[in-house]
Amino acid sequence: MILADTNIIIDFWKNPNQEQIEIFNNNEIAICPVIMVELIHGAKSEKQKSKIKEALRELRMLSIDDKTWELFGDLLYKLKTSGVTVPFQDALVASVAIKNKCLLWTNDKHFEMINRVIERLKLLKRPTF
């Protein structure tokens, strides 16, 4: 399973290339509540918001349970003690990926920073689309 970050979903919706299409067609793609909220928040109109919600129903939603929150706290602590600062929501998405043993598909450099400290985070290495 692959957890697709917000930037990947947006890129795919705007202008998918063949490699993205193959990844979406050949893998189970998931999101989590943080990604859902970011995508809905980016809507420019009620109509677009409705289309986003409809499209997201096609993807698997990974929950954020108590164990994920605890892992998130541990991850933030380890990042802090390692001198690494990343956005709160990126650290939470990373925690969801780790908890669910997913590859995280992203173009966001913050996840590479997290991965240098938290090796359990597995990133899908793809060129920037």
Q: 19-45: per-residue pLDDT in tens?
A: 999 999 999 999 999 999 999 999 999
pLDDT at 128: 47
Domain 2-123 belongs to what topology?
Answer: Rossmann fold (3.40.50)
- Is the pLDDT at 77 greater than 90? The verdict is yes
pLDDT at 116: 96
Question: Taking Cα atoms as reference points, which of 65, 68, 129, 74 lies closest to residue 99?
Answer: 68
Q: What is the mean pLDDT of residues 58-78?
A: 97
Q: What is the mean pLDDT of residues 83-99?
A: 97
The tokens for 118 are: 């938290």
The predicted model scores a pTM of 0.91
Distance CA 9, CA 37 (A): 13
pLDDT at 129: 43
Beta bridge partners of 122: 103
User: Mean pLDDT over all residues of the chain?
Assistant: 95
Distance CA 20, CA 8 (A): 9
Domain boundaries, the chain: 2-123
pLDDT at 113: 97
* Sign of CA pseudo-dihedral 67, 80, 126, 128: positive
How far is residue 15 from each of residues 8, 19, 37, 68, 118, measured CA to CA in Å? 11, 12, 21, 33, 32
pLDDT at 127: 52
Distance CA 48, CA 66 (A): 32
Residue 85: band (very low, low, confident or very high) from pLDDT cuts 50, 70, 90: very high
The one-letter amino acid code at 118 reads I
